[in-house]
């Protein structure tokens, strides 16, 4: 999420300290296949954009914060000034963080999206339909 301003509090890359602040690890949205944030959103405000990233549609977001609770990675955020959720949306396929990183520690790889729901849905549908007869 680019704002055009230097706003560390609105960064979608966070740094977690380990071992009493002796080492640090950056983390950001992994665009997980499960999409817990998307599943939790009661108004369908989180969609998958053209590059395969989960994207918050501001016009639909009601600011309920359920997506921030559902994300097991802690990479869904809430902006109290806009009262909307926000997260990494891969900047439309050209992440600014990867381009700006002076040491190439942040990279972006375009990989195929895995169909995590297909097998589960087929198995469940078969089971439910078998029980209905």
Q: Where are the domains positioned within the chain?
A: 8-132
The pLDDT value recorded for residue 77 is 93
| 119/104 Cα distance (integer angstroms) | 37
User: Does residue 82 contact residue 7 with C-beta atoms inside 8 Å?
Assistant: no
Could you list the pLDDT tens digit for every one of the 133 residues in the chain? 566 677 777 788 888 888 888 888 888 898 888 889 999 999 999 999 888 889 999 999 999 999 999 999 999 999 999 999 999 988 888 888 888 888 888 888 877 666 656 676 677 677 777 776 5
Q: Which helix (H) or strand (E) holds 76?
A: none
User: Does residue 76 contact residue 85 with C-beta atoms inside 8 Å?
Assistant: yes
The pLDDT value recorded for residue 59 is 95
3-state secondary structure of 59: coil
- List the one residue out of 132, 23, 12 whose CA is nearest residue 75: 12
Is the whole model's pTM more than 0.85, yes or no?
no
Q: Which CATH number fits domain 8-132: 3.30.70.20, 2.40.50.140, 1.10.3720.10, 3.30.710.10?
A: 3.30.70.20
Cα 66–Cα 11–Cα 21 angle in degrees, nearest 5: 100
3-state secondary structure of 10: helix
The pLDDT value recorded for residue 119 is 72
The pLDDT value recorded for residue 118 is 64
The pLDDT value recorded for residue 81 is 92
């Amino acid at each position: 999420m680019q704002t055009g301003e230097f706003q560390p509090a609105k960064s979608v890359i966070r740094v977690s300290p380990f071992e009493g602040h002796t080492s640090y690890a950056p983390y950001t949205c992994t665009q997980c296949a499960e999409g817990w944030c998307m599943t939790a959103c009661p108004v369908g405000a989180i969609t998958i954009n053209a590059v395969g990233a989960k994207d918050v549609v501001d016009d639909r977001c009601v600011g309920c914060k359920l997506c921030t609770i559902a994300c097991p990675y802690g990479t869904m955020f809430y902006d109290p000034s806009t009262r909307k959720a926000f997260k990494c949306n891969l900047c439309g396929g050209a992440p600014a963080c990867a381009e700006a990183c002076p040491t190439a520690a942040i990279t972006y790889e375009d990989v195929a999206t895995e169909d995590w729901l297909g097998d589960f849905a087929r198995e469940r549908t078969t089971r439910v339909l078998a029980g209905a007869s």
